[in-house]
Structure 1
C-alpha cells in the first residue's frame, strides 16, 4: 500500500490543504491571518490566500513523517529560517508560535491530532485520511510517469 512518504510532497500538501479547506470546518483561518508574518525573520506576510490550510497540511505531513510526538518548540524550529541582518552574518530564528499553536488546536478539535505529554501525535483517523489521499495521488502520478507505475506494481 502506498503511504504519504512515497508520493511527491508538493502534490500531497496541496491536495491535503484543498481537502482540509473543503471538508474540515474546524480548521479555518482567524480574522488576522492576512496581516500576520509567520516569523520574525520574514519581511512580509504570506501572499497566498490559502497559506493557513497549506501550513496545516504541512504540519500533518511532518507529524506523519516523524511518527512520534512533536512539540510546539520543535515545530517552531522546523518552520524557522535565516534572519538577514545587513552587514552582520545571518542567524537562525524560530518561526512564530501563535500560528502553529492555533493550527494545532484546530486540528485537535477536528480529531486529526491528539495531545500527549511529549507533544502531539496523529490519530488513526488522520493516518487513514492521509494514506487515502496519497493513494489517489500515486494513481494519478503513475498515469503521468510509466516508470513510477512499475514501482507501484512491485510494491
Structure 2
C-alpha cells in the first residue's frame, strides 16, 4: 500500500488534450460564466480586412477569447500584434497575387481586455500579456474535464463493439 502513495498521478495540462475540444469547452465556460463583456458592435464587424463577411457563429467572440487563452498558455508573453498575426489570413486581390493580411487589431485588443477583466491574463512590464495563476489553474481544470470525457467516450465505444 505504501508504494502506491509514493507514486504520483501525472496531472493533465492543456497540452495533453486535443486543441479543438479544449477551445470549444473553454468558450462554453466563458459564455456560461457570463463575465466576458462582448462589445455591442461585435455582431457586425469582420474579423479582418481579408474577410468578406462577418462570422456566422453568434458565439465567435468567446471562441476567439478561448483560442487566445490557449495560445498564451503555450507561448507567452503575447501582445495585440502577435494575436493579429495568429488570426491573419490570405487576402485575395482578384487577378493580382494574394498576400498575407493581419486580422483586426480592435478585436484582438478587446478580447485581451476582456480576459484581463476576468483576471485570467495580466500585463507584463516588458510588453504583452501572460496567464495568471488563476487562469492557468482554470485551463488545466477544463483540460482535465475534457480528458475525462474523452476517456469515458472511448470506454463507451469499446462497450458498444
- Same fold per superposition (TM over 0.5): yes
Give the C-alpha shift of residue 2 in structure 1: 1.1
Q: TM-score, normalised by structure 2?
A: 0.86
Match of residue 29, structure 2, among 4, 16, 19: 19
Query: What's the RMSD between the two structures over aligned residues?
Result: 1.0
In 2: Cα distance, 1:108 partner to 1:24 partner: 15
Match of residue 60, structure 2, among 51, 54, 73: 51
In 2: Cα distance, 1:145 partner to 1:95 partner: 38
In the alignment, what sits opposite 1:113?
121
- Secondary structure of 1:128's counterpart equals helix
- Secondary structure of 2:147's counterpart equals helix
The reply on whether 1:94 has 2:102 as its aligned counterpart is yes
Match of residue 50, structure 2, among 35, 41, 45: 41
In 2: Cα distance, 1:100 partner to 1:50 partner: 15
Q: TM-score, normalised by structure 1?
A: 0.89
Whether the 8 Å contact between 1:21 and 1:28 is mirrored in structure 2 is: no
Q: Larger Rg: 1 or 2? A: 2
Give the C-alpha shift of residue 134 in structure 1: 0.3
Whether the 8 Å contact between 1:24 and 1:110 is mirrored in structure 2 is: no
In 2: Cα distance, 1:17 partner to 1:144 partner: 21
In 2: Cα distance, 1:52 partner to 1:132 partner: 22
In the alignment, what sits opposite 2:82?
74
- Secondary structure of 1:33's counterpart equals helix
Consecutive unaligned residues in structure 1, runs of 5 or more: 147-155
Work out the number of aligned pairs and report it.
144
In the alignment, what sits opposite 2:133?
124
In 1: Cα distance, 2:110 partner to 2:13 partner: 27
In 2: Cα distance, 1:144 partner to 1:59 partner: 27
In 1: Cα distance, 2:33 partner to 2:114 partner: 13
